[in-house]
Amino acid sequence: MRVCARLAGLLGSLFLIAACASTRHEPAHPPVATLRPALGPLVRLQPPCLAVSGLCEELRAALAHGSGTFEAWRQECFAGRPWSCQLQALSLATGQGSERSLEDAVGLFMKSCKLGVLAGCVDIGRLREAGFGVSRDDRLAIAWYRQACDGGNLEGCVALGRLLGSRGSVERDLDRAAALLRSVCEAGRDDGCTELGLVLIDRDGLEKISHSITLFQRACDRGNSRGCVSLGAMYLYGRGLVADRDRGVALFQRACSLDEKSCSTLGHMYTAGQDVETDTARGLELLQKACDAGDGEGCFISGAMYRHGVGVPRDEARGVALYQRACDGASADGCNNLGHAYQNGYSVPRDLKRAFREFTRACQGGSDAGCTSLGAAYAEGLGVPNDLRYAMHLYKRPCDAGYGLACRNLGIMYREGQGTPPDLRRAVELFQRGCLRKREDGGSAEACVELGLAYLRGQGVEENAKRAIELFLHACQAQYEGGCEQLKRLM
């Protein structure tokens, strides 16, 4: 069974650890069970609390110093009590003590922020950055984080520095990010030290990595799980240190013990047999622990394994339920796969409008697969009026980012003249972009078949049957049935 995807969640652009199950973005899935227990009038945090990272922790901390009811918070917020607005928003965002509604939570976070609750400014920034409940917008996220940071909220400063230092950020500025995070680290925020270490590696390269290692070690020793994961990756891959696999794995285990959401890192490794001996049962246990702690990626990967029967008996119902939890936990890819379940009626009633909503959430959340699925919905008029030009727009971004299936879909539109005048050469260019990458890096076997057909027919490229056969064989070996079918036709 082929395992494909990647782990980059905790380490951003720095390291890539393989894992996840067969076709990360594949369409099929199952019945969604009840995911949250009903709560009585007194709000107590119940597992699983699934939300954009940080919201569950914030609600947990607030409830540790008191309690209340959603209705009481609603009335007090209406009367102008800022923290009641914040608690009401957290309840709505996490689904704890109320029906989950990110859209309503957004408005309340904005209200609490305007009333002076800086944590509300951070939270609306989180939702803007993740694209949950609102459209994804890094500039607006930065603005909300800056407002919190300028008001003295160090969590807002950490978030601002992290986003300014992130690859792909619209306002990336490594010097500003480093200066801000250094001040936060010196003020005693261990998460600021970890983020500073990551930014410095991106800014200064591996030649000056020793300072980052010191920062990771300090943060890890003081209980910051992300610092432990970062340091563990250094040991695992020998970056600035003598490679020591056992030490790296031990640091991932410490991260898991510090924060159960970090267990997904180790879970990836065990299920994939990446740098450790394969132990599917142990891996799933860790992924489930992370999922129950609110990590959407842990839910997503375990859902993919059950959905496709990778290392476990195939269980579509369980897989789709986990995709639902992943989506609730801010996994954009989880929303994408959930959308495919509703689009195709896999163990859930077929519902094209629901599928469209999930694809929209996935795309807004930054999933290349989600934007590709949303583009296909517009191209085919599934759950939304047909709009070929907008479909092309949606395909372009993930294609430019290296997601091969989007390039393949966009290429077909150029070949067929859908939403644009026919352009066979442009179509071939797009098929090549989609095909000529490793599958785990976003390459598409489907794009290889379309490129093979272009060579076979001499469309947009000089006819070359031998090259066509090579491409069909490549797709077939990648377990894409369409490639195998083309080979059979030529035999």
pLDDT digits (tens, 9 = 90+) for 306-362: 998 988 999 999 999 999 999 988 899 999 999 999 999 988 999 999 999 999 999
Q: How many residues does the chain have?
A: 491
Q: Does domain 6-364 have CATH number 1.25.40.10?
A: yes
Nearest 5°: phi and psi at 18?
-65, 155
Predicted TM-score (pTM) of this structure: 0.80
Spatial CA neighbour of 384 closest among 366, 359, 403, 410: 359
Spatial CA neighbour of 1 closest among 16, 20, 17: 20
Query: Tell me, what DSSP letter sits at residue 329?
Result: T
Contact 449, 486 (CB under 8 A): yes
| Domains 6-364 and 404-490 are alike in CATH topology | yes
The token duo for 272 is: 């994939």
Maximum mean pLDDT: which of 36-45, 179-188, 290-299, 438-447: 179-188
Considering the four listed CATH numbers 1.25.40.10, 3.40.640.10, 3.90.1150.10, 1.10.760.10, the one that applies to the domain covering 404-490 is 1.25.40.10
Question: Could you tell me the residue ranges of all domains in the chain?
Answer: 6-364, 404-490
- Single-letter residue type at 18: A
3-class DSSP assignment, residue 68 = coil
3-class DSSP assignment, residue 7 = strand
Confidence check: pLDDT of 200 > 50: yes
pLDDT tens by residue, 267-282: 989 998 888 999 999 9
What residues have CB less than 8 Å from 320, skipping those under 6 apart? 29, 30, 31, 32, 303, 307, 338, 341, 346, 347, 348
**380-406 mean pLDDT:** 95
At residue 5, the pLDDT reads 36
Maximum mean pLDDT: which of 15-29, 47-61, 471-485: 471-485
The C-alpha atoms of residue 64 and residue 49 are separated, in whole angstroms, by 15
Residue 35: other Cβ atoms inside 10 A: 15
